[in-house]
Amino acid sequence: MLKPFTNQSPCLPQDPGWDDGFGFGYRELDAFWLARWTQESGWEAGRLYEQQGASLELSLAANVLHYGQAIFEGLKAHRTREDKIVLFRAIDNARRMRASAARLVMPPLPVDDFVTAVHSVVRANHKWVPGYQKGSFYLRPVMIGTGQVLGVAPAQEYLFYVFGCPAGQYMGGSRVIVLSAAHRAAPYGTGAAKTAGNYAGCLRPQKIAKEMGYVDALYLDARDDFYIEELSGANFFAILHDGTLVTPELGSILPGITRDSVLTVARELFGWLTVERRLSIEEVLSDAVEAFYVGTAAVLSPVTTINYRGIDYPIADGEPGPRAERLLQALTAIRLQEQPDHWDWVKEITI
Ligand SMILES: Cc1ncc(COP(=O)(O)O)c(C=O)c1O
């Protein structure tokens, strides 16, 4: 049973743990957003509900539970030095969720509805947004097929919901491994959609990578097993000897919003040559002077070692490089309104 949120009883504890740093885990806050879709009415307007003790009731035959109609997003709000709360590129997450919905034959949510939902969740839980430079407020919009099915078919009912969590560091770690016989996505598959099944498929490679002492698997393409794609939850970049910033072309990888931000900042702010193309593992091992991975949760982390066919290869001298650091600083400053945002990426949330 869901109770509409009335803003009467914010449940922030005396000490939410701001100074201990947050990990990256679920926590029940004050309010979350939920909207339903039915074939007769389309998307309803949606509203906030109390989050304490809230859960969803689903039919045993809900599509999501066996055929996996589930897509999601991840985006962050931050508190600035001036104590404003700002959100980064929410419109782009809204657009990507529409693209994921189209791939999974789900009803695309209007961009404005998505933006209203994430703004409302931040506003209702604003006390949970960590202080300046103490972390971020991570938002998780989710859409699932709740209608009952038995044969393989799209659901006739859907839910869209958004919850948030104060968050600290997500991945952190600079050693990645190319596992043999482990691919994330196939050509013309669902790799470019942010759908739950892609992540379920990554759990085993990720577990093996971690057990072997690496932060994650670095996936190669499924056709040639030679071209770098991405990590389980982050996009990959390399800087080559000639100074070019290269990242794998779109296709079966997630079109990351941080990936796009990095390309834009590198090209338009720093004047670097940026290229999206096929990037082989051997080219990176022989020609990269820096490598790093990027994502909303992961932010930007250097890759200093890549294990390929059982051998640890250092990238250049095996130390984090200056250009990745420069990109990280620029992105952080833009997100916190400490450097001009020429692209209108950052939106203030009025409380
Ligand atoms: C598979 C995968 N690649 C890349 C990314 C990075 O995307 P974004 O920068 O939009 O967070 C993510 C998500 O965070 C992801 O799950």
Domains of the chain by start residue, with CATH:
18-167 (3.30.470.10), 175-335 (3.20.10.10)
Q: Could you tell me how many helices (H) and strands (E) the chain has, helices first?
A: 7, 19
Q: 312 with 328: CB under 8 angstroms?
A: no
Residue nearest to atom 13 of ligand 1 (CA): 233
The pLDDT of residue 17 is 64
What's the whole-model pTM score?
0.96
Residue 131: count other Cβ atoms within 10 Å of its Cβ.
11
- Which atom of ligand 1 lies nearest, measured to the CA of 260? 9
Q: How far apart are CA 128 and CA 308, in angstroms?
A: 42
End-to-end CA gap in the chain = 28
Distance from residue 297's CA to the centre of ligand 1 (Å) = 8
CB within 8 Å of 247: residues ≥ 6 apart: 235, 236, 237, 238, 259, 262, 263, 274, 275, 276, 279
Query: At 314, which helix (H) or strand (E)?
Result: strand 311-314
Residues of the chain with pLDDT under 50: none
Distance from residue 19's CA to the centre of ligand 1 (Å) = 27
Which of 161, 198, 193, 211 has the alpha carbon at shortest distance from 58? Answer: 161
3-state secondary structure labels for all residues of 146-183? CCECCCCCCCCEEEEEEEEEEECCCCCCCEEEECCCCC
